[in-house]
């Protein structure tokens, strides 16, 4: 049936689509990189000129944790606050009493245990090798949390919540954030202790600031990736646990935290 409301909705969609195509017409790819991107490509792993390099062959990791590292540190803090926000909105401070679910069949449980180890290994590999392969803290952390979602589905929510207490998750997340903060503050502490110039969140030595992390393992980048991985993994598990709480028990248990 063609009512006025429906026709106007379809017209809205078509006009929006055409306007978006017009807006994107200047942003199609061309033969060369934009000058800013080319600067990072040329300097991130340049052995001949080590005053501007980040010692990381993976340019995205170098951008994320060296050139624009401060952005990422504060963005990690935003993610931490997001997880705390979910918990405090649902008032999930104390563990709630809930019937124990039976989970799925024993075949799924046994296979799940084996696959769990594989997923954890993969996530740790992706995190630690983030300096030379596509990957890093974000990706490793998300994959890590998926292993726990597997447990949540195969066993039950109650099983997972007994294994990983919410306050422990929050504590480990805080440890990750602390690791990132300490690593980025090392520059400040180093300059204070030795009298040399070193900037906050500095990774490699510069001409005018001769102190820095060792270039092996890409300096501070690997440490920061591990902290980020802890933060993201624990945050995701927390969010999944908080959002899968059944409505019945949530109504019983809310407000006593």
Partner 1 sequence: MADLLSWLLDYYPYLAIMLVIAISFYGVLLKANLFKKIVALMILTDAINLFFLLMGYKKGVEAIPPIAVGFELSDFAARSVDPLTQYFVLTAIVIGMAEAAALLTLALLIHRYYGTLDVSKIRELRG
Q: Does 28 bind partner 1 (CB under 8 A)?
A: yes
For partner 1, which is the closer residue by CB, 164 or 209?
A: 164
One DSSP character per residue, 85-148 reads HHHHHHT--SPPP-PPP--S-HHHHHHHHHHHHHHHHHHHHHHHGGGTSS--HHHHHHHHHHHH
CB of 252 to partner 1, least distance (A): 12
Q: Does 72 bind partner 1 (CB under 8 A)?
A: yes
Contact criterion met (CB below 8 Å) for 142 and 232:
yes
For partner 1, which is the closer residue by CB, 21 or 114?
A: 21
> What tokens does 249 get?
């028990």
Among 229, 235, 237, 253, binds partner 1 (CB under 8 A): 235
Q: Does 17 bind partner 1 (CB under 8 A)?
A: yes
Q: Does 225 bind partner 1 (CB under 8 A)?
A: no
Q: Does 90 bind partner 1 (CB under 8 A)?
A: yes
> For residues 33 and 159, what is the distance between their CA atoms, to the nearest angstrom?
51
> For residues 221 and 140, what is the distance between their CA atoms, to the nearest angstrom?
14
DSSP code of residue 207: S
What residue ranges bind partner 1 (CB under 8 A)?
9, 12-13, 16-17, 20-21, 24, 27-34, 36-38, 40-42, 44-46, 57-60, 63-64, 68, 71-72, 75, 78-79, 82-83, 85-86, 89-90, 132-134, 136, 138, 232, 235-236, 239, 242-243, 247, 250-251
């Amino acid at each position: 049936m063609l009512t006025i409301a429906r026709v106007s909705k379809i017209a809205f969609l078509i006009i929006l689509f055409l306007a978006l195509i017009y807006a994107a017409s200047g942003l199609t790819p061309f033969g060369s990189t934009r000058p800013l991107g080319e600067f990072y490509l040329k300097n991130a792993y340049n052995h001949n000129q080590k005053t501007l390099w980040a010692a990381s062959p993976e340019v995205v990791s170098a951008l994320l944790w060296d050139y624009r590292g401060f952005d990422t540190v504060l963005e990690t803090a935003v993610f931490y606050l997001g997880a705390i926000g979910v918990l405090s909105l649902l008032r999930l401070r104390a563990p709630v009493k809930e019937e124990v679910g039976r989970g799925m069949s024993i075949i799924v449980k046994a296979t799940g245990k084996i696959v769990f180890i594989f997923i954890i290994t993969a996530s740790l590999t992706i995190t630690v090798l983030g300096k030379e392969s596509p990957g890093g803290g974000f990706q490793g952390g998300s994959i890590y949390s998926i292993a726990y979602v597997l447990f949540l589905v195969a066993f039950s929510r109650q099983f997972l919540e007994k294994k990983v207490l919410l306050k422990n998750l929050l504590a480990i997340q805080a440890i990750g954030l602390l690791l990132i903060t300490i690593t980025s503050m090392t520059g400040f502490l180093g300059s204070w202790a030795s009298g040399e110039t070193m900037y906050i969140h500095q990774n490699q030595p510069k001409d005018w600031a001769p102190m820095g992390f060792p270039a092996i393992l890409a300096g501070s980048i690997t440490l920061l990736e591990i902290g980020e991985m802890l933060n993201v993994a624990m945050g995701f598990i927390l969010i999944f646990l908080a959002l899968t709480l059944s409505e019945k028990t949530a109504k019983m248990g809310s407000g006593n935290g």
